[in-house]
Chain A
Amino acid sequence: AQSVTQPDIHITVSEGASLELRCNYSYGATPYLFWYVQSPGQGLQLLLKYFSGDTLVQGIKGFEAEFKRSQSSFNLRKPSVHWSDAAEYFCAVGLGYSTLTFGKGTMLLVSP
């Protein structure tokens, strides 16, 4: 069965430091890949997505992600974290016909 793994339940990063959130998927073909962010009590906001083409994808709020087929990974990165980035981050994999499988999420804490 298809699965999405976010190995880190929570991560603490100092403000201004770089960030990398990991995401691995298990699926035979190249899926459609997404990263969403969710602030407490809020809905999901799409940060970026990969459908095809350049494997380094730029998103909103200074985030980027790189699709690595050989590692079945789609890690999210940001060079300098801001306190407002503290939130829950979900990686998701799109399969056939609009379906989405979500990872369990990574909670990002930003320390001063």
Chain B
Amino acid sequence: GAVVSQHPSRVICKSGTSVKIECRSLDFQATTMFWYRQFPKQSLMLMATSNEGSKATYEQGVEKDKFLINHASLTLSTLTVTSAHPEDSSFYICSAATSGGPYNEQFFGPGTRLTVL
């Protein structure tokens, strides 16, 4: 149980185009989804937290107009990198959590490697 998928696993795009990454909870309802970014040889950096049906909460320094997050259902969240540039190339990881307990564990997707040419 508690499986989270991401699609695509890797994507290459041209500078200036937009890229959408999907994150799905396959066997549970995810009240909250998280999006992380990981640069080579670094730790995960939280970009934003999204709750189903609400606007995402972005971490300081993350441009919400550049990284659009939609959490339209309890099993799907999307991250759209708009007008991507080479500096947006990174490994993007999503996670999903349920609600109701004193602490609700995050379950991680396998990640998406974005390369912007």
Contact = CB atoms under 8 A, between A and B. Distances in A.
Q: Do A and B bind each other?
A: yes
B32 A90 contact: no
Interface stretch (B68-76, B80-88, B99-107): B99-107
Interface in A91-112: 94, 96-100, 102-105, 107
A46 B105 CA distance: 11
A43 B4 CA distance: 11
B105 A49 contact: yes
Given A43-B109, A43-B111, A44-B93, A97 B104 contact: yes
Contacts of A53: none
Interface string B8-50: 0000000000000000000000001010000001111010010
A71 interface: no
A70 interface: no
A104 B103 contact: no
Interface in A53-112: 90, 94, 96-100, 102-105, 107
A42 interface: yes
A94 B104 CA distance: 9
B56 interface: no
Contacts of A99: 49
B43 A105 contact: yes
Interface residues of A, number: 21
A42 B111 contact: yes
Given A41-B113, A43-B93, A44-B93, A100 B43 contact: no
A104 B45 CA distance: 10
Nearest to A6: B43
Interface of B: 6, 32, 34, 41-44, 46, 49, 91, 93, 97, 99, 103-106, 108-111, 113
